[in-house]
């Protein structure tokens, strides 16, 4: 994308196009009641979220992918910060004090390790939100309008995959092999361990795969990926349960994949679940054109280029456009005249980032909806444009359920077929490129012996046309008047064809 001075382009193999601002955010340390913790900067960009197991050559292929992880879709993320580790027991107690919390009450459970560097456990989602709210109060003067919160699923997955620093890993946080980055059942710890025990991912985040489950802000709905149309930090608001991510030290590795979605009621407080914080800026840093529609036509957005083709004859000087941009962003100019390319500028809500897009709208969509040629099993079909019929003769031993059919149409046209009984006829529906016109052709196939077909072909080859004459009707040859065309063959036969001048 063509950017102003605050943004340049970066291409990343897994994420595709990602936007980098020269005014990048950086890591920050915070101290509360003597306990210091690090929030890692996650600079905005895009991610292919989810996983699929149907296409080994497709994006984010994972043979262990579950239905609620697909379809894989691209989402855009603004800048934010995320905890270097999950919330540890010392940080929890520094914020919550001696309150009779679920953690303090159940933290002495036999299966719950105790110690400052261990994850805080037995935290319900409701209590996790209380923790974030309490931290916002304690650090209000330093936050300058920013807020601690639970991460959205998109924020969590974008960070787990390394954000813009991703090295191509899509299965676990920092690797496609869980061994070096995730505490799972294969390590035989059976319970959570101290944070930072294995390698971090590309952003320097620890334990985003394995060790302890982490609450997210979203509700869980199995159809969210396919039903939701939001492409900027989407949040699921539908469902009775809430998402958590990351896996657990006693889970098999496949349950700790970065695309794996877990769900529990917001009151659940097991020994396998904790939390990780995000810190969100007061204002959005994204400056995207997300959708661009003129009248009823949706444009293609490719990088910084917006391309839209309209039907021939469209008046380009007075068109109504609907343009969806990033939340809080502003767009200039406001125009109805697309007779020349229009350069749009999108400025982010925080005023730091801006982007330019060039919209090119043309009125050149073809309005022709014709079938121009067809061959069936190598035999050329005869197309009668007036009656919209297509006839062809094939060999008697041809399999009508597996015919090799090739055809051409007018430029840009679409083709759909109705039925598969070629003896009684199959309808080919041709739609014009502009979507405004449609023609239906009936294809019928006749079987003959191979020798008979050969005789017909030989007869035509041995009896070429020796003369062609044209005769008008009524002594006129004006446009729209009728006439006939007569072909004279070598063997004395004639073929008469009605024509229109």
Distance CA 49, CA 76 (A): 10
342-347: strand order across its sheet: 300-302, 305-311, 354-365, 342-347, 330-332
pLDDT at 407 over 60: yes
**Position 131 pLDDT exceeds 60:** yes
Contact call for residues 288 and 325 (beta carbons, < 8 A): yes
> What is the arithmetic mean of pLDDT over 239-254?
95
SS3 44: coil
Which one, of 361, 290, 302, lies nearest residue 327 by Cα?
Answer: 290
Q: Which of 2-6, 53-57, 72-76, 382-386 has the lowest mean pLDDT?
A: 2-6
Q: Nearest CA to 3 among 51, 45, 47, 49? A: 45
Mean pLDDT value of segment 221-246: 90
Q: Bridge-partner residues for 446, per DSSP?
A: 393
What average pLDDT does this structure show over 437-460?
A: 73
Angle made by CA atoms 460, 462, 464, in degrees to the nearest 5: 65
Closest CA to 391 of 367, 362, 433, 426: 426
Assigned token pair, 103: 């953690």
Confidence band of 98 (pLDDT split at 50, 70, 90): low
Q: What is the mean pLDDT of the chain?
A: 87
- Which pLDDT tens digit goes with each residue over 252-298? 999 999 999 999 999 999 889 999 999 999 999 999 999 999 999 99
Cα distance between residue 59 and residue 55, in whole Å: 8
CA distance 356 to 441: 46
Return the pLDDT at 82: 98
Report if pTM > 0.85: no
The structure tokens listed for 398 are 């041809």
Please work out, in degrees rounded to the nearest 5, the angle formed at the alpha carbon of residue 74 by the alpha carbons of 68 and 221.
25
What is d(CA 123, CA 131) in angstroms, rounded to the nearest whole number?
10
pLDDT in tens, 25-78: 999 999 999 999 999 999 999 999 999 999 999 999 999 999 999 999 999 999
Structure tokens that stand for 387 in this block: 């009656």
């Amino acid at each position: 994308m063509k950017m102003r001075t605050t943004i340049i382009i970066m291409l990343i193999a897994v994420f595709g196009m990602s936007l980098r601002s020269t005014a990048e955010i950086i890591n920050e340390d915070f101290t509360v009641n003597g306990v210091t913790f690090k929030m890692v900067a996650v600079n905005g960009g895009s991610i292919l979220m989810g996983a699929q197991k149907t296409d080994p050559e497709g994006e984010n292929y994972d043979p262990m992918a579950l239905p609620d992880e697909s379809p894989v879709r691209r989402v855009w993320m603004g800048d934010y910060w995320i905890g270097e580790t999950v919330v540890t027991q010392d940080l929890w107690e520094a914020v919550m004090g001696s309150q009779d919390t679920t953690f303090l009450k159940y933290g002495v459970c036999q299966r719950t390790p105790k110690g400052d560097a261990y994850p805080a456990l037995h935290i319900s989602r409701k209590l996790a939100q209380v923790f974030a709210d309490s931290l916002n109060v304690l650090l209000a003067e330093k936050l300058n309008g920013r807020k601690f919160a639970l991460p959205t699923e998109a924020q969590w997955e974008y960070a787990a995959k390394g954000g813009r620093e991703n090295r191509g890993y899509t299965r676990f946080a920092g690797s496609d092999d869980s061994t070096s980055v995730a505490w799972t059942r294969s390590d035989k710890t059976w319970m959570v361990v101290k944070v930072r025990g294995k390698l971090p991912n590309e952003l320097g985040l620890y334990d985003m795969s394995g060790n302890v489950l982490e609450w997210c802000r979203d509700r869980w709905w199995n159809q969210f990926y396919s039903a939701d149309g939001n492409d900027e930090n989407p949040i699921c608001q539908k469902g009775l349960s809430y998402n958590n991510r990351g896996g657990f030290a006693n889970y098999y590795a496949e349950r700790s994949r970065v695309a794996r979605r877990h769900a529990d009621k917001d009151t659940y407080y097991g020994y396998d679940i904790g939390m990780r914080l995000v810190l969100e800026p007061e204002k959005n840093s994204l400056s995207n054109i997300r959708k661009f529609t003129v009248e009823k036509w949706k444009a293609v957005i490719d990088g910084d280029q917006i391309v839209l083709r309209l039907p021939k004859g469209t008046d380009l000087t007075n068109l109504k456009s609907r343009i969806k941009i990033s939340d809080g962003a502003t767009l200039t100019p406001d125009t109805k005249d697309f007779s020349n390319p229009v350069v749009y500028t999108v400025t982010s809500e925080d005023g730091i980032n801006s982007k330019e897009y060039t919209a090119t709208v043309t009125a050149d969509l073809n309005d022709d909806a014709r079938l121009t040629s067809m061959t069936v099993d190598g035999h050329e079909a005869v197309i009668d444009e007036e009656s919209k019929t297509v006839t062809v003769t094939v060999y008697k031993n041809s399999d009508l359920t597996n015919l090799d059919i090739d055809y051409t149409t007018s430029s840009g046209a679409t083709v759909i077929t109705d039925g598969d009984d070629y003896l009684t006829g199959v309808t080919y529906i041709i739609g014009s490129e502009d979507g405004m016109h449609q023609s239906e052709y009936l294809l019928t196939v006749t079987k003959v012996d191979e020798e008979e077909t050969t005789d017909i072909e030989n007869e035509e080859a041995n009896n070429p046309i020796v003369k062609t004459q044209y005769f008008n009707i009524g002594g006129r040859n004006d446009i729209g008047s009728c006439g006939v065309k007569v072909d004279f063959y070598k063997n004395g036969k004639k073929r008469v064809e009605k024509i229109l001048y």
